[in-house]
Amino acid sequence: MSSRWEILLKKLEQRFGMPVDYAGILFLIGLQELGKPYKRYKKDEKLAIMHIAVCTLLEPYGIYKYIGRDEDGWPHWELVEELPPLSDAQQNKLITEAILEYFEKQNFFDDNKEET
């Protein structure tokens, strides 16, 4: 898994011209799922965007269920099942795997053909 993680970090750094940390990746996923053009967001909006990412990432695990968008176009989920108690390391592993799965589904790792 770690080699895929390193590849992801390297590709994101190449795409954005700077290293992207864990929180940055969650923000990027949240923005992608929000589907609105980038603008400056307030701190509470940034947290909501990161929450969109977490819900999106944990939905395939049956933790959240997508219920739709509100009148402002923001997606919402309902909690289906509480996560069991996890250590920080277990939680990090779960989210890291979910991030890799997300980018895999987006064919993010397949764009080597475009770069040649």
* Residue 116 forms part of a structural domain: no
* Residue 65 forms part of a structural domain: yes
Boundaries of domain holding 96: 2-111
What is d(CA 26, CA 98) in angstroms, rounded to the nearest whole number? 11
* Residue 18 forms part of a structural domain: yes
* Residue 88 forms part of a structural domain: yes
Across the chain, what does the average pLDDT equal?
90
Model confidence at 87, in pLDDT bands (50, 70, 90)? very high
Question: How high is the pLDDT of residue 115?
Answer: 41
Q: Count the domains in the chain.
A: 1
Mean per-residue pLDDT, 18-30: 94
Q: Which residue has the higher pLDDT, 109 or 60?
A: 60
* Residue 58 forms part of a structural domain: yes
Is residue 38's pLDDT more than 90? no
What is d(CA 76, CA 66) in angstroms, rounded to the nearest whole number? 6
